[in-house]
Amino acid sequence: MPKWIKYTLGAMLILFVAGMNLSSMCHPPAEALEQGEYIEGRMSIPSIEAVMTESIEPEVSLSASEGLAGIKELTWATLADVDFKDVYVEELDAYYWKPTFGPSVKAAEGTEVYITGYIIPVDYDEDFYVLSRYQFANCFFCGGAGPESVVDLRFPAKTRAYKTDERLTFKGKLALNADDIYQMNYILEGAVEYTP
C-alpha cells in the first residue's frame, strides 16, 4: 500500500477518534483539576489574554550553548495560544476544528525549537508518532485534551520504536498547519531526540 494512502487512513482515524466523546474513559490531569480548567470532559483552552498576561518573562529558556545554536524551548502554554472554530468539511460530511494561531505561536513558526512531552505511537510501521502534553489516558486521542496539546513528529530518517507514554524531548523546526485536515496543527519537522 502506498505511503500516502497509509498517511491518509491514519489521519482519518485520528479525526474519527478525535470526534468521539470518550472522555468518560479518561481522567483529567491533576493540574487541570487543581487549576479548575477541566470542564465537561475537555480541557478549556485559555484565552489569548490569559496566555499573554500569564508571564511578563518570555517562555524561552536558553543556556549559553542553546543561544548560540538558536534552539528555543517551545512550551505547551505557548501552543495553547490558538482559537478553534468548527468548520464543516463536505467531503467528510463532518466538522473539524479550524485553528487561528495567536501571535506567540506564529512567532515560533519556522524556528528551531525543542519540546518535552509524552510519546503517542499512531503507526509503528510508518514511524508515525506524536508528542503529547498529557499521557495517553488524558491525551487528545482519548478525548481528554484539545488538538493544541499534540505535535506531529516528522523524523528525517527511520527511528527506533518508541513506547507509549515515554517522556522525551525532541528538537526540530516548528511548522503550523491550519488548512490540511489530514495533518496535525503542529508539526515538528526534522524531529530528533534532544537533551537540553
**Tens-place pLDDT, residues 113-144:** 999 999 999 998 888 999 999 998 877 767 67
Q: Is the pLDDT of residue 170 over 50?
A: yes
pLDDT for 14: 52
Rounded CA-CA distance 152/162 in Å is 14
CA distances from 5 to 1, 9, 11, 72, 182 (A): 7, 6, 10, 34, 11
In terms of Cα–Cα distance, which of 98, 79, 78, 80 is closest to 88?
A: 98
**Tens-place pLDDT, residues 36-95:** 443 333 334 444 444 344 443 334 333 333 444 678 999 999 999 999 998 887 887 888
Count how many domains the chain has: 1
Per-residue pLDDT averaged across 18-47, rounded?
A: 42
Q: What range defines the domain where residue 117 resides?
A: 3-193
pLDDT for 1: 53
